[in-house]
Amino acid sequence: MAIRRRVDVSGLPTPDPDKGVPVPEIAKKLTIKEGKNAGKSPSVASLYRAYAEAEQAAAVDDDLPLRPKPVRIRRPGDPLTPRRSSCATASRPSRTRTPEAPVDDLQAVRAQEREKVFSELIATAERLDMLRRLEGGGVDAHATAAMHALSFAATILWPTIPSAPPPGFRHDSERLLQLAAHWREAALELGECAPARPALRIVTDTTPPS
Could you report the per-residue pLDDT of 73-112, keeping only the tens digit for each? 666 655 555 555 455 455 555 555 555 556 678 888 998 9
Task: Give the confidence band of 121 by pLDDT, cuts at 50, 70, 90.
Answer: very high
The domain of 24 spans: 17-61
Q: Is residue 57 part of a domain?
A: yes
Q: Is residue 43 part of a domain?
A: yes
Q: Is residue 48 part of a domain?
A: yes
Q: Is residue 76 part of a domain?
A: no
Count the neighbouring beta carbons within 10 Å of the beta carbon of residue 128: 20
Per-residue confidence (pLDDT) for residue 52, from 0 to 100: 77
Q: Clarify whether residues 188 and 117 are in a common domain.
A: yes
Q: Clarify whether residues 46 and 119 are in a common domain.
A: no
Per-residue confidence (pLDDT) for residue 8, from 0 to 100: 55
Q: Which of 44, 91, 48, 47 is nearest to 71 (CA)?
A: 91
Q: What is the average pLDDT score of the chain?
A: 73
Q: Clarify whether residues 186 and 108 are in a common domain.
A: yes
Q: Is residue 205 part of a domain?
A: no
Give CA–CA dist 105/93, Å, rounded: 20
pLDDT one-digit tens code per residue, 125-145: 999 999 998 888 888 999 999
Q: What angle do CA 132, 172, 164 make, to 5 degrees?
A: 85
Q: Is residue 173 part of a domain?
A: yes
Q: Clarify whether residues 57 and 108 are in a common domain.
A: no
Q: Is residue 201 part of a domain?
A: no
Q: Clarify whether residues 124 and 184 are in a common domain.
A: yes
Number of structural domains found in the chain = 2
